[in-house]
Structure 1
Amino acid sequence: MFFSIIIPLYNRPQEIKELLETLVLQTYRNFEVLVIEDGSVHDAEAIVNSFVGQLDVRYFKKANEGQGFTRNFGFERARGDYFIIFDSDCLIPADYLQIVNNSLTTNYLDAYGGPDGAHASFTPTQKAISYSMTSPFTTGGIRGNKKGIGQFHPRSFNMGVSRQVWEKAGGFIITRLGEDIEYSIRIHSMGFKIGLIPDAIVYHKRRTNFVQFFKQLHFFGRARINIYKFFPQELKAVHFFPAAFTLFLLFTLIFNLLGWQIAKLGNFIVLFIILLIFFHSWWKNKSAKIAFLSIIAAFTQLTAYGIGFMQDFWKRVIFNRS
């Protein structure tokens, strides 16, 4: 199978260098790479061209449209039997393409997704963020999980679609705010087979500090409402959890300020959650520092998502504004 790896890029020249360095090491060699610069001010043309000879790589520049439509630009120019999408802040294990090829050979999928994890080179904050996004105690636990809730939806940091999917379903119809989930749902609705390849892991850097992480997860919360506008049936009870958690924290704080006795129950629950996250992360990461940062990451994730979710739920569902 010939793979086309499609990478949208926006003002991240150093990240694409690190990603391409990992693709050079792939044990499976039948692939091409398309890097599409999406209106960047700081382009990576010289960096990408330095890999010519090591990789079958092509570099394109276009006006800024967002990641969804930039991936479509790549789809239109790809030569492969199968298209694989990565975010530019990913590192790819050397056996990734071999794992995907073997899996598709034995159990073919029209579209697939894979999980993500923390690379040894990541900072403690990045490892804490990675823990939070994959922890069973946050909404991140449903990402890349064999026993996820409901239908599996590949995410665009690690996602593959066959050429047949592209020819029938087309590409992304929205460029941001949940474009990958909308695409996954639409692919599934057309009768294509979608699944998780659990061993096709990538190392996803995500954000390097909690302010950036908050902004990203706030965006994710808003994206869930955007998906609801396309597919109302896809809004599940689990998606309300971060909003409920955020309101719980707010009322616990208010009750403490007012001196109400019910605040003691809220404090106990918060302490229990903190200890649960701390010791689970410590067990997973073998580091007390990462465990402590995981508490901050988890609370940042849930509250940012919850605020974004409530913001657009109020505006776009209750008041039906665009």
Structure 2
Amino acid sequence: MSQGNPLYFSLITPTFGRPDEVVEFLESLLAQQYPHFEVIVSDGTPGDTLRPLLRRFENNPTYPLTILFTEYIGVSPARNAAAAVAKGDYLIFLDSDCIIPPDYLTKVADYLVKNPDIALFGGPDLAASGFTPLQKAINFSMTSFLTTGGIRGGKRTIGTYLPRGFNMGVKRSVFQAVKGYSDFVCAEDIELSIRILKAGYRSAYIPEAGVYHKRRTTLKKFFRQVYRFGAARLLLNERHPGNLKLTHLFPLLFSLGLILALLLLPLTEWPFVLYAIYFSLIMIFSTLTNESSKIGLLTVVTTLVMMAGYGYGMARNGWEMYIKGNKKGIKL
């Protein structure tokens, strides 16, 4: 990578509460090997109570830190507010529940110097060794080729790569050209990615630029998260027709098929046997990947929760939008 005119990055994270996660996120950035970046925290925590906890990071020599505060600000407005004051050549949007590896920016910069035509990029979400068994199980369920990993965006994706907001970079000039995040409430990252690609820019998946993504810490929170994802997919297709693929229906069809298999058990076992084989493969691959049979078993549960939550969200919003005729859908 040329050091004559190094790329400068603005790392942006929106947050609401979660003080421990934000502190851990900022601490991970103190170890970055690449020195040319700033960090902007756009906070909506009531009472500005997060700022005192972050004060020790404001004068650190590793990176400049800007803390923006607007009480109860939403995720998209928070990101837009941070982008408005950012100085970087590229904006990188990261979730506050992520831990950033020391070589993350080095890998990103190396790739972009070699591929200057890339305007939009992202990388994988990984599970750190210190994550809880549930976090590791959720990570496997969300990223495995056996589940919806391809749907969410990976090396092999549906069509052109659409980065997700937990690890999503975009040229600042391009972000400004498309007017940033829209009023989309959920799946706002995908909606932005679609508009950038429609404008004629190119995107790329950088496999070396992964982040450790903690995700939800309980099954209830995880169910709620994927429920919103499923519901938002139909809204996304309304705004950008043609972006609903057959594979996006997989969790809904999977859940309906499982219900049918259970109902048919008195007559035939074969449909249920197929599901048993599928979940056995999930357990085996997760056990081998995580080197833990406990996590393997837990992954069966998280996969079931993910499929059911996403499928239920899509079914409920489909009823609201296409049967009841409310194109705005359910409240997310």
TM-score (norm: length of structure 2): 0.93
Output the CA distance in 2 between the equivalents of 1:242 and 1:158. 24
Q: Which amino acid aligns with 2:224?
A: K
Match of 1:247 among 243, 249, 256: 256
1:124-168 superposed Cα distances (whole Å, 9 cap, x missing partner)? 010000010011111134434212121210000000111111221
1:72 match: 80
* Structure 1 range deviating more: 57-66 or 292-301: 57-66
Match of 1:298 among 294, 303, 308: 303
Output the CA distance in 2 between the equivalents of 1:144 and 1:199. 15
Deviation at 1:319, TM superposition (A): 3.1
Are 1:279 and 2:284 an aligned pair? yes
Output the CA distance in 2 between the equivalents of 1:278 and 1:80. 43
1:180-227 superposed Cα distances (whole Å, 9 cap, x missing partner)? 111000000001111111110000000112111111110110111110
What stretches of structure 1 of length at least 5 have no aligned partner?
A: none
Counterpart of 2:41 in 1: which secondary structure?
Answer: strand
Write out aligned runs for 1:2-151 (5 A). Answer: 2-40=8-46, 43-54=49-60, 55-108=63-116, 109-151=118-160
RMSD: 1.3
Q: Percent identity, aligned pairs only?
A: 39
* Structure 1 range deviating more: 8-17 or 146-155: 146-155
Deviation at 1:238, TM superposition (A): 0.4
Output the CA distance in 2 between the equivalents of 1:199 and 1:317. 41
What stretches of structure 2 of length at least 5 have no aligned partner?
A: 1-6
Deviation at 1:113, TM superposition (A): 1.0
Deviation at 1:41, TM superposition (A): 5.6
Output the CA distance in 1 between the equivalents of 2:50 and 2:263. 49
Match of 2:237 among 224, 228, 247: 228
| Count of paired positions | 318
Change (3 A) 1:240 1:142: closer
Deviation at 1:45, TM superposition (A): 0.4
1:95-114 superposed Cα distances (whole Å, 9 cap, x missing partner)? 00111011000012111111
2:196 match: 187
Output the CA distance in 1 between the equivalents of 2:12 and 2:108. 15
Kept in 1: contact 2:47–2:71 (CA 8 A): no
Counterpart of 1:154 in 2: which secondary structure?
Answer: coil
2:3 match: none
Kept in 1: contact 2:150–2:156 (CA 8 A): no
Q: Which amino acid aligns with 1:7?
A: T
1:316 match: 321
Kept in 2: contact 1:222–1:308 (CA 8 A): yes
Counterpart of 2:80 in 1: which secondary structure?
Answer: helix
2:207 match: 198
* Structure 1 range deviating more: 1-10 or 137-146: 137-146
Counterpart of 1:50 in 2: which secondary structure?
Answer: helix
Kept in 1: contact 2:15–2:96 (CA 8 A): yes
Change (3 A) 1:113 1:40: farther
Output the CA distance in 2 between the equivalents of 1:43 and 1:131. 34
Kept in 2: contact 1:12–1:42 (CA 8 A): no
